[in-house]
Chains A and B, each alone.
Chain A
Amino acid sequence: MAAQERSDQAVVSRRGFVGWTLGLGAGVVALVAGVPQIGALLATPRSAAPNEFVDVGKLADLPDGEPVGLTFLAESIDGYNAEQLPHTVWVVKTGTGDPIVFSPVCTHLGCQVFWDKGARHFVCPCHNSVFTKDGAVVSGPAPRPLDTLPTKIKDGILSVRWVDFTPGTTAKTPV
């Protein structure tokens, strides 16, 4: 009776051992083969190097006190495609001061704002955010003023660096 019980126990513990071995083995095999797959899928794309400054126009050509949209091509890396993408910026020159350059991307959810000449406001067509000529929010859901872009002036030529900012937040953070 005692011997029988002992051998029964041995069978049970052997089954446990075999089960554990198979479970562990299958687990390790799945991990070794699976971790890289998941790693590759979940990895965030590397943030691209900052864009270069691109000449957008002569200072002398800018109207005084009236926003103008300037379009230029900037080299951009989109995944594995290196492309020249067009960008439009709103440039506001007042008096003799340096011009302010606004990104056209609405700080609410990323639609493109335009300058409404009649109303003398920047307006976002998506959710009706309205901004002053200086970029301040007048009305609508936009959480922060229009984003300004880095500029340089050399020999009377204005150049701009395109930056994407995260929309929808009160803080202005580059993407």
Chain B
Amino acid sequence: MSRFGDWFESRLPIGRTLRGMLDEEVPGGAKFVYALGSATLLTFLVLAVTGVVQLFFYAPTTAAAYASVNYLRFQVPFGWLVHGLHYWAATLMVVLALLHLVQVFLWGAFKKPREMTWILGVLLLLGTLAATYTGNPLAWDEKGYWAARVGAGIIGSVPLVGGWLRDVVFGGTIVGQLTITRFFGLHIAVIPLLIGSIIALHLITFRKEGAAGPIRPSTKTGAFYPDQVLRDLIVFAVVLVVLVGLSAFLLTPVTGPADALDASYVGRPDWPFLFIFQLLKYLPGQLEVVGTIGVPVLGTLLLLLVPWLDRSPERSPAKRPAVLAIFVVVSGALVALSILGAQTSTPAAVAPVGPPGPTPEASIVSTPPGPGPSLASNQVGGAAHGQELYVLYCQECHGARGVKGVENPGSADGEVPSLNPIDPALAGKTRQTFVAGLDTFLQNGSVPSESTSTPNASPRLKMPSFGNTNALTQPQIADLEAYIMQLNGVDRAAIARPGVVPKTYFWISLVGLAIVVISGSAAIVSVERGR
């Protein structure tokens, strides 16, 4: 080594530490399936990096959170990828952690003396779920907001301490500003620090006993470096291809701005919690707390106690039929409940108003519009929810999918204008003009010009004012605007500055990562030959 290298190493022994970490035997030889744990760790690192980058854009306030997240996604070069990687890595981390757990469970790798590694692993899974849960409301969109609302209800239902616990976690009885601030603190500081520390402990206990190795003793052996490291590298490349691909092809959903008044939004929890959601449907009201609290707590306790419940030194799943049966039943039930939960259909839309007729001036509290563009026109609405609202509030006059409006005797046009396709003069040339054009009608309403053929006729139907009368909330109007734009082939949530176009970025990274996989495989072969 060079003199500088020696000087450095003698004062900061990075090389020695690294060699110590890499120099480990892998009983039974290196295998790709052993990379599940490292792959979970990789997703955590991706989450940490993309999380820190998001901190440079995010504002944890009810007024700005949604806009700040959308700013990152649509206005910042590569923002779609930063956000997408964070979103999909969060999903994948739960998947990989679960697979890792199943693997260790079936292969009996948790057994004495590895109980502590197992317990720490279960805690890591809980931490990951906590991070998933606290992350959603930060976007302050419909999905996240309602997830927080339901969570607050669940925690509030805990016997004795529920109310207190809810106030502490959610910052009070209502889900609002203090909820965002607290979830932000939990999500970016408390939970990741806990996860990071537990990962360190998990690795320490793992290295103490070494890998459990194959079930049937084998004379084959491999080295962590390079045999397992090369396999881990290949798995990393594949995980990254999956993450970039998901981010590029399945852009993260836009569910619309959070809306506390919107009763028509059907909240559904994030997929890891779907089974509880489905379970609750089978439980009578007074047993609700059994499903929300009892089942998860009991499940966690059983999971933690696994090394003591299955104590025989036997590791082969074939020779642990009872354990295998319990595993099949429990995981089958969880998967079935989750699938059923995911399939829950939206309840049939209930029209809040009667058949088309002269519109009563729907009015709740009337606040005069302030100067400048409305709140709705500055927010990126969610087209999917806009569609649901359209069926409820607009279809009776503008027709299904806005294709053909109903007849409107007394008006110059004779019918309610079609919204699909919409009058090009209203849409204008840019997304901004389109939103502004729609917004004028939705906020203020409009009376069609009178028919010239029948003098003194007045139009039977007029466009009601939805915004100024507060008949619809601003977030709902934003969602409707997004939907009508979508009907006309315009994406309200288009990425204005992608950096590199998502699909192009995917193909570029695919080439790079394919090279990694190929050369990694070649290296594995050459190492095996050398034996």
How far does the Cβ of B58 sit from chain A's closest Cβ, in whole Å?
Answer: 10
Q: Kindly list chain B residues whose C-beta atoms are within 8 Å of the C-beta of A41.
A: 53, 56
B233:A25 contact, CB within 8 angstroms: yes
Interface string of A125-163 (1 = CB under 8 A from B): 000000000000000000000000000000000000000
| Chain B CB within 8 A of A29 CB | yes
A32:B233 contact, CB within 8 angstroms: no
Q: Kindly list chain B residues whose C-beta atoms are within 8 Å of the C-beta of A81.
A: 64, 67
| Chain B CB within 8 A of A3 CB | no
How far does the Cβ of B416 sit from chain A's closest Cβ, in whole Å?
Answer: 31
How far does the Cβ of B266 sit from chain A's closest Cβ, in whole Å?
Answer: 28
Q: How far is the CA of A24 from the CA of B234 in the complex (A)?
A: 12
A75:B530 contact, CB within 8 angstroms: no
A21:B522 contact, CB within 8 angstroms: yes
Q: Kindly list chain B residues whose C-beta atoms are within 8 Å of the C-beta of A79.
A: 68, 71
How far does the Cβ of B180 sit from chain A's closest Cβ, in whole Å?
Answer: 15
Q: Which of B27-35, B188-196, B509-517 contacts A (4 or more CB under 8 A)?
A: B509-517
B497:A43 contact, CB within 8 angstroms: yes
**A13's closest neighbor in chain B, by CB?**
B526
A side interface size, CB within 8 A: 32
| Chain A CB within 8 A of B221 CB | no
Q: Kindly list chain A residues whose C-beta atoms are within 8 Å of the C-beta of B526.
A: 14, 17-18
Interface string of A33-48 (1 = CB under 8 A from B): 1111101110101100
Assuming the A-B contacts A22-B230, A79-B71, A81-B64, are A36 and B516 also in contact, with contact meaning beta carbons closer than 8 angstroms in the complex?
A: no
| Chain B CB within 8 A of A84 CB | yes
| Chain A CB within 8 A of B523 CB | yes
How far does the Cβ of A12 sit from chain B's closest Cβ, in whole Å?
Answer: 11
**B63's closest neighbor in chain A, by CB?**
A81
Interface string of B199-239 (1 = CB under 8 A from A): 00000000000000000000000000010011001101100
Assuming the A-B contacts A25-B520, A37-B50, A39-B78, are A18 and B56 also in contact, with contact meaning beta carbons closer than 8 angstroms in the complex?
A: no
A80:B70 contact, CB within 8 angstroms: yes
B side interface size, CB within 8 A: 50
| Chain A CB within 8 A of B373 CB | yes
Q: How far is the CA of A28 from the CA of B518 in the complex (A)?
A: 13
Q: Kindly list chain B residues whose C-beta atoms are within 8 Å of the C-beta of A35.
A: 78
Assuming the A-B contacts A24-B519, A26-B233, are A36 and B82 also in contact, with contact meaning beta carbons closer than 8 angstroms in the complex?
A: yes
Interface string of B444-455 (1 = CB under 8 A from A): 000000000000
How far does the Cβ of B229 sit from chain A's closest Cβ, in whole Å?
Answer: 7
Within 8 A of A (CB), among B29-56: 46, 49-50, 53, 56
| Chain A CB within 8 A of B276 CB | no
**B78's closest neighbor in chain A, by CB?**
A36
| Chain A CB within 8 A of B372 CB | yes
Within 8 A of A (CB), among B473-531: 496-497, 499, 505, 509, 512-513, 515-516, 519-520, 522-523, 526-527, 530
Q: How far is the CA of A18 from the CA of B234 in the complex (A)?
A: 13
How far does the Cβ of B15 sit from chain A's closest Cβ, in whole Å?
Answer: 14
| Chain B CB within 8 A of A70 CB | no
**A84's closest neighbor in chain B, by CB?**
B372
The 8 Å CB contact of A40, one of B79, B509, B515, B527, is B79
| Chain A CB within 8 A of B378 CB | yes
Q: How far is the CA of A14 from the CA of B527 in the complex (A)?
A: 7
The 8 Å CB contact of A43, one of B49, B499, B512, is B499
How far does the Cβ of A65 sit from chain B's closest Cβ, in whole Å?
Answer: 33
Q: How far is the CA of A84 from the CA of B374 in the complex (A)?
A: 12
Within 8 A of B (CB), among A9-23: 10-11, 14, 17-18, 21-22
Assuming the A-B contacts A22-B230, A25-B516, are A80 and B49 also in contact, with contact meaning beta carbons closer than 8 angstroms in the complex?
A: no
The 8 Å CB contact of B78, one of A18, A24, A37, is A37
Assuming the A-B contacts A25-B237, A26-B233, are A18 and B71 also in contact, with contact meaning beta carbons closer than 8 angstroms in the complex?
A: no
A21:B71 contact, CB within 8 angstroms: no
Q: How far is the CA of A40 from the CA of B50 in the complex (A)?
A: 10
Assuming the A-B contacts A32-B244, A84-B371, are A37 and B82 also in contact, with contact meaning beta carbons closer than 8 angstroms in the complex?
A: yes
The 8 Å CB contact of B372, one of A21, A22, A45, A75, is A75
| Chain B CB within 8 A of A171 CB | no
Q: Kindly list chain B residues whose C-beta atoms are within 8 Å of the C-beta of A11.
A: 530
**A49's closest neighbor in chain B, by CB?**
B432
| Chain A CB within 8 A of B155 CB | no
Q: Kindly list chain A residues whose C-beta atoms are within 8 Å of the C-beta of B505.
A: 36
Within 8 A of A (CB), among B128-172: none
Assuming the A-B contacts A18-B526, A32-B240, are A46 and B513 also in contact, with contact meaning beta carbons closer than 8 angstroms in the complex?
A: no
**B515's closest neighbor in chain A, by CB?**
A28
Q: Kindly list chain A residues whose C-beta atoms are within 8 Å of the C-beta of B49.
A: 33-34, 37
The 8 Å CB contact of A37, one of B53, B71, B512, B530, is B53
**A26's closest neighbor in chain B, by CB?**
B233
B residues bordering A, Cβ < 8 Å?
46, 49-50, 53, 56-57, 59, 64, 67-68, 70-72, 75-79, 81-82, 85, 226, 229-230, 233-234, 236-237, 240, 244, 371-373, 378, 496-497, 499, 505, 509, 512-513, 515-516, 519-520, 522-523, 526-527, 530
Taking A26-B233, A37-B53, A80-B70 as given, write out 15 further A-B residue pairs in contact, using a Cβ cutoff of 8 Å, ordered by the A residue number. Answer: A18-B230, A21-B519, A21-B522, A22-B229, A25-B237, A25-B519, A29-B236, A29-B237, A32-B244, A37-B50, A40-B53, A43-B499, A80-B59, A80-B64, A81-B67
Provide 9 A-B residue pairs closer than 8 Å at the C-beta atoms, listed in order of the A residue: A17-B522, A25-B236, A32-B244, A36-B78, A37-B49, A37-B53, A41-B53, A82-B372, A84-B372
